[in-house]
Amino acid sequence: MIRAPATVPKNDLPSFAGRVSARVALAPYTWFRVGGEAEILYAPQDTDALAGALRIWAGPVLPIGVGSNLLVRDGGIEGLVVRLGRGFAGIAIEGETIRAGAAVPDAKLAQAAQRAGLAGLEFYRGVPGTVGGAVRMNAGCHGTETCDRLIEATVVLRDGTVQTLSNDALGFAYRHCDLPEDAILVEAVFRGTPDKPDAIANRMADLMTAREEAQPVREKTGGSTFRNPPGESAWKLIDNAGCRGLRFGGAQVSEKHCNFLINHGDATAADLETLGETVRERVMAASGHDLHWEIRRVGQA
């Protein structure tokens, strides 16, 4: 059953600067297209508005990007879900660095860098998230991670304080940074390396071709489900455990890339999570490896 925590009546919303809506279905805001409602969905108009709102708001806070790495559980998310929009979508080229708002799609960042003749951000072309989600997750592929190119990032902390943190201060590791879950990234600055725009464009095209061949990029999915254990590939462990194509309800382990879960259209978040846990059990039984979720599972079951 899809239900909302819904403690805030629609006519009693907090008056934050920006768009505030109660009991908003989150499925359309995620790649999996599943999950319950946000108690309150807030789209601040700018950093000052966001900082002001966080100073007033007393409940839980969860930032989301475009939901390409999120499994929102069917019971929805209590408190304030913050989704940055237009006020956080600017890109500025400053010499060999690029400043981008946290709502900028990774692909747009890659394309802006390419047009400016700045190499090193090609890997973002096929990552379907936003700059905020990329920094939070230390997103990466094809041998480059966000932390290899990030100079600094600006965050609004839970108490409304705005801070600019250096790469070192963010504590990056594989698909991880040390920020608290309720800290909201609003901007990031990246380092490019001068190169010919044509050469960068050709490399990006090659990366996109390789991705289309290897991943189910047109499905309702959340990207890589599990982190690669040190020295291992999660997909190989899943394949060797006999889970390729495994189904539960409307959820399936992708036939094309078995570290991806797919919603065939009628899956619930519970179907997807149950299937993922079944995969973990089978991999443990087959190889002794304890897979850890890379996809962020949020909200109430």
Choose, from 37, 68, 125, 224, the residue flagged as catalytic. 224
State the nearest-atom distance from the C-beta of 179 to ligand FAD, in Å. Answer: 7
State the nearest-atom distance from the C-beta of 249 to ligand FAD, in Å. Answer: 20
Q: Cα separation of 243 and 258, whole Å? A: 7
**Interior angle at CA 251, CA 104 and CA 293, nearest 5:** 60
Tell me the β-bridge partners of 244.
none
Is there binding between residue 35 and ligand FAD (CB under 6 A)? no
Q: Verify whether residue 294 is a known catalytic residue.
A: yes
Q: In this chain, which of 134, 150, 246, 270 binds ligand FAD, going by CB under 6 A?
A: 134
Q: Cα separation of 154 and 122, whole Å? A: 23
State the nearest-atom distance from the C-beta of 15 to ligand FAD, in Å. Answer: 22
Q: Cα separation of 176 and 268, whole Å? A: 27
Q: Verify whether residue 175 is a known catalytic residue.
A: yes
Is there binding between residue 127 and ligand FAD (CB under 6 A)? yes
285 exposure class (CB count in 10 Å sphere: 0-12, 13-18, 19+): exposed
Choose, from 175, 273, 280, 282, the residue flagged as catalytic. 175
Choose, from 37, 39, 187, 294, the residue flagged as catalytic. 294
198 exposure class (CB count in 10 Å sphere: 0-12, 13-18, 19+): exposed
Q: Verify whether residue 125 is a known catalytic residue.
A: no
User: In the complex, which residues of this chain contact ligand FAD (CB under 6 A)?
Assistant: 31, 62-70, 84, 102, 127-130, 132-134, 136-137, 139-141, 184-185, 215, 217, 221-223, 296
Task: List the catalytic residues.
Answer: 175, 224, 294
